[in-house]
Amino acid sequence: MTDSCSRTQRQTSMNGSGIGNLCMPPSSITGSNRSRRPSWSDAKKVWNAGDEEETYSDSHTQILKKLDNYYRKMKRQILAFQSLTTGLFPNHLEPDRKVGHVVENVFCAISVWSLRQCYCKIDNDQGRAHELGQAAVKCMRGILNCWMRQAKKVEVFKSEQSPKDALHSAFNVFDGSEVDDADEVGQLQICAISIYLLTLVQMITSNLEIIFSMDEVNFVQQLVFYIERAYRTPDYGIWQRGSKYNTNTCELHASSIGMAKAALEAMNGFNLYGDKGANWSVVYVDVDAHNRNRTTFDTLLPRESASKNTDAALLLTVSWPTFAVHDETLVQSTIRKCIRKLRGTHGFKRYLRDGQYTDLESKDQRFYESTEIKKFDKNECQWPMFFAVMIIDGIFKNNQAQVDEYLAALNPLLRRTTEAFSDANSITNDSESDSLFLTKSQEEVSSSPNICEMMVHYYYVDHSRQQSSAQSESSDRGNNQQLPFACSSEILHGHFFLLGQAVWIICQLLVDKLLTITDLDPIRRYLPPSDRPKSNSRYSSIQDSLRYQYTPNMPKCMSSTSYEAVSAKKKTTGVITSNVTFSDLVIQVVAISESVRLQQVLATYGIQTQTPKQIEPILIWPPAELVKAYTNLGVNKKFGFSGRPDRPFGVLGTCKVYRICSKTVLCYPLTFETNDFYMSSDMTLLLDNIRSDFEFITKCWRLKGRPIYIMMLRERHLRGPQKSDLLELLTQIRQGKVSANIFVRLERLQTAISSACVEHLDFLNNSICTAMDWQSVSVREYKNTTEIGHYKSLTDVSKTPIIVEDIDYLNHEFKNQHEEELREFICETEISLGSLRKHALATYELYKTGGLDWMIKDNYRVRNHLEHLSKEAATWQHWAVIRFVSSLLHKMVDSLAPSVSNLLVRGKTVTIGVFGHEEAIIDKPIRPKEFFKILYSDSVFGRSIFHAVLLQELLINVSVFIQTSPQLFNGILKLRLGWLFQAMELGLEHLRADTEETVTLNTLSPNEIKQLMYYVLTTNVPQTTPQNIGEVEQRSSYEKRQMDGALCRVPADFFEHVWSILERTPGGIKLCDALLPQQPTLSDMTDYELNFSLKIEEMLSRISDPAYRCLVVEMFELINVLLKRNSELRFTQILDVDYLINEAVKLFQQQTNSNDPFQDFYNLPIQLVGGSTGYMVRVIINYLFNANLQKVDTTELNAANNTDICKIS
């Protein structure tokens, strides 16, 4: 948003004055005066921006009169309902009106606070500013007190994220207790916590005192922990319904994640005591958690969730009050989609097929039946409140046309009474209301003290009026103009819909120019983060990416038309291509050598490094020590709160400088952590991860100051053939440019700190710091020269041999040996390259006997020996032993949960299992403990020890590829890791130059696994083969089908094609003895819905042969083409896909006399003449035109290949 805008055309219905630009220039807001309330003269200057000659008709007296009118409205319409004891507001739909909902209460508090902001501008306010401010404080504290009673839930939810442990979102307004008979259904609302925290910051910034004690400060810090994992926490959403099917199912909601992201930005470094607060009342936010929420939110938009294509809640997320995203493209596409899908004549639908409050919904049942949702199509309730939200959005964007349009649409929908809410009979009916609107102007209505404008809760389609009217049954139900709408009944009983009424009052204050957008948004959420004021530089602040990026020749666009007008012009003006954005962020790299000897070796190549001794008194910590330090954040014994959960810090968190008790501490990234998963032992992968870290920091760094990246160099990094690659990377860093868009600078640590991002950990007091052993936890200089693989100079560096020896743990020489013989071998045989495999197998036999704690000798257990073997195997790069031992130790990667969330938000489903056996389906984010149970269960670890760790490698690599190259996963909806493993084995088999080679996936390095996965994913894309793979001969049709089937890849629009087939198949579709009925599938779902695609993918998952799966996909595509070209055709019986394929293979056998018909059919090319397509088309045509065709038992074509093709895998 620009600082000054041109004058807009004035609207007669808005007191004869234009909106203009209501924002103050960021340059005029400083840290010292950000909380100062501007006077009315200041406000007029703001309204008068760019037009000093315009005069206003409103005098000071008229302003006071308007404020007095709004004060009376606030007392009658909002504050009259506030509880005397808790300060909460009741919901008009609840029995006895004793239940208050958090979201509704927050908006009521915002409306009261907004009027207070207006009164703060005048001197003689008769105490009303204080009264209104305290009313808002009372409501906010009432919510806080209700939540503090559930402190035990907060502590459990931090680590479990389970709906049963969620804070409640509805309370008794009289005593703040949990609602009687309330359960966990609908209570988990991440958005409720987030919008509360965001409003808390807004109000405290405006000089309201809401937080009174350190106990409350600690509780708010715990609420921040509560929402930090919103990106992987399915909830019930702002409407408390979960998925649109209303079956008590949680799902990831973009609105909840976006609000959490905005709340984290606002809370980061914020002092809950306001300007009077000290360092210990500051709230801290994990910058990596914020980044994960940001990327997840941006990825989900403009979709709301898996079941909801869009949702009106997104209007509250991308616009006021949240302003969760400032990417104009995302904002515009999200709002336009909401308008296109949800806008009606009487308001916005909440989401498509929303049955709540309709007269078709059964009032006796809480959840819907499976076939019920279809009847709500085009019968959804419409909420006029969102017209007011769009008016506020237009004012923030200075879009006069949008404000005019939605004011004109909203005014006829308001209901008016002459005596507030005391007399229900004074409410006008529909015709009276319309005549009142026609006879009274907006100014007369708003200025009259006896006229009360009431925001209707919703308008519903009145089917009783429709049946009694003269309309015929064949009228067009899709035309909203022909549907008879009736308003909700709370108006007739004199009750206010407080949420809508609060939004409408705020809207009126803005329209009448009594409230400015800077009053309504003191922390300037509507501005890009880099333009917002930051009063305290002691703590890190989240900036916008544009601070480090620039776009050449980017035109500035001013909006003077509505969203509909813009959408209409889109067809005629065409699409404007976006400009390329470059980043000028410089990453400061500090290279730390673990020893003086390594420093001297690198100096011969001109690489200047520092040792831990040379950077003193600055300390370098492992990332695990920083996690331990943060466990003291938010600790409170009264509540029973522990500190920050034991979550590892990401690369962004380790790029900050930390000030802890007058000491300066830095952390090296997890990339260099030796105690982490074994993947860090692969030097080639380590170098690739360093480059990935640089790319990630360049893309995602949004903090004030430059990042400092600590490269922890160890002596073992120079061993092996990757030594030259490491030196090449260090040389590029020294030259200052790793790639075309990544800029780095090799610095001394003492020099880099001056421009770094500094975070003061003031919650670590002197008592905690005194007990901390600073030297033992810090990185120290390495001086031991006796271990294997160390050296005095470059001439002493030994080359690591390439080992391709696999481990067969089912058949080996130690299988039947006695326990004492195994102990004797382990204790007496020296560990060397030749004995590593034998040591691993001997230890495995002891592991089977007594587990990891089985004793080998005094104080030396199986666990100790496996850990020792792991280190030695890492030295020799024996990957089969490393993986085998790591799996026995049950090792886990820390970043599995974020990796899965990264896949889920892109619409993918993940399955974990061994190929050909049962799989665990992951369709929502799960906790690391659940991953551990799946990987080390009998279905994975029990079937293949190597799979437990290899599947983790695959999951990490898939997550990286879907971020960097999402096009590789086009057509892949379900990522079946066991099948991907099978595809990689097929790819490796195809790549082997010699059929007698013993190379297996177990023996490949992690980097080679990553390269092989890339090769498999790009198998049918020309010119995408990695350099290490080399040229590969063209695959046969059978190999292509195997690969595509193993990857579960389908053509573009495949699922929409299946939907079209199902529409013309009344009997349904049958595959592998599973029937997909036409009804209620078509009535419950839509063709664009993600859940329908997942249902089809579930049917395809019953196939156990990858090549056969590919044939099934080809069959569906051919059926769709035939039906599309012949619109009159339809299937009169069940579409049995297995029968059609068997008939096609049978026809092929009859014409070719093949001895192995299925295998030969798989090898046919996909073409009409001489290929599989011709046989399939003939079978489909016969099936379509022969309605009386009776299926006969066909002979087994190939018992070996056709056995159990369809089974649950």
Using alpha carbons, list the distances in angstroms from residue 481 to 435, 485, 532, 646, 792. Answer: 20, 9, 44, 56, 86
Residue 893 contacts residue 905 (beta carbons within 8 Å): no
For 41-68, b/e burial (b = at least 16 CB within 10 A) is eebbebbbbeeeeeeeebeeeebbebbe
Residue 196 contacts residue 171 (beta carbons within 8 Å): no
Residue 617 contacts residue 664 (beta carbons within 8 Å): yes
Rounded Cα gap, residues 687 and 440, in angstroms: 73
Q: Which residues contact residue 322 at a Cβ distance below 8 angstroms, ignoring those fewer than 6 apart?
A: 194, 195, 198, 258, 259, 262, 316, 525
pLDDT for 112: 97
pLDDT for 548: 46
Residue ranges of the alpha helices (H) in 268-352?
Answer: 287-300, 313-318, 328-342
User: Over the stretch 802-856, which tens digit does the pLDDT of each residue have?
Assistant: 677 888 888 888 888 888 888 888 888 888 888 888 999 999 999 988 888 888 8
Rounded Cα gap, residues 596 and 1089, in angstroms: 61
User: Over the stretch 855-876, which tens digit does the pLDDT of each residue have?
Assistant: 888 888 899 999 999 888 888 8
Rg (CA), the chain: 33
- Unique residue bearing structure tokens 């030295």: 875
pTM: 0.82
Name which of 14, 90, 65, 67 is nearest 501 in CA terms.
90
pLDDT for 904: 84
N- to C-terminal Cα separation, the chain = 54
Q: Which residues contact residue 776 at a Cβ distance below 8 angstroms, ignoring those fewer than 6 apart?
A: none
Grade residue 117 by pLDDT with cuts at 50, 70 and 90.
very high
Using alpha carbons, list the distances in angstroms from residue 1126 to 387, 427, 475, 1087. Answer: 45, 58, 29, 20
Name which of 1033, 1013, 1006, 865 is nearest 949 in CA terms.
1006
User: Over the stretch 60-101, which tens digit does the pLDDT of each residue have?
Assistant: 788 889 999 999 999 999 999 999 999 999 988 876 788 999
Residue 84 contacts residue 43 (beta carbons within 8 Å): no
Q: How many helices (H) and strands (E) are present in the chain, helices listed first? A: 44, 24
Q: What percent of the chain has pLDDT over 70?
A: 80
Name which of 1199, 1207, 1112 is nearest 917 in CA terms.
1207
Q: Is the previous residue joined to 449 through a cis bond, with omega within 30 degrees of 0?
A: no
Rounded Cα gap, residues 800 and 720, in angstroms: 5
* Mean pLDDT score, 117-130: 90
Grade residue 450 by pLDDT with cuts at 50, 70 and 90.
low
Tell me the HSE value of 455 on the side-chain side, using a 13 A CA sphere. 28
User: Over the stretch 341-384, which tens digit does the pLDDT of each residue have?
Assistant: 999 999 999 999 999 999 888 888 888 887 788 888 888 999 99
* Mean pLDDT score, 560-564: 53
DSSP, residue by residue, 90-137: --TTSGGG-EEEHHHHHHHHHHHHHHHHHHTTSS--TTHHHHHHHHHH
Using alpha carbons, list the distances in angstroms from residue 395 to 22, 162, 509, 556, 1200. Answer: 8, 40, 11, 19, 71
Residue ranges of the alpha helices (H) in 797-946?
Answer: 819-828, 836-850, 862-876, 879-888, 896-904, 928-935
Mean pLDDT, the chain, rounded, equals 81
Rounded Cα gap, residues 916 and 893, in angstroms: 25
Q: Strand, coil or helix: what is 459?
A: strand
Rounded Cα gap, residues 210 and 208, in angstroms: 6
pLDDT for 828: 87
By the 10 Å C-beta count (0-12 exposed, 13-18 middle, 19+ buried), 922 is classed as: buried
> 291 phi and psi, to 5 degrees?
-65, -40
Neighbours of 122 (CB within 10 A): 17
DSSP, residue by residue, 181-206: T--STTT--HHHHHHHHHHHHHHHHT
pLDDT for 928: 83
The pair of three-digit structure tokens given for residue 773, joined into one six-digit string = 């052993």
* Mean pLDDT score, 759-776: 76
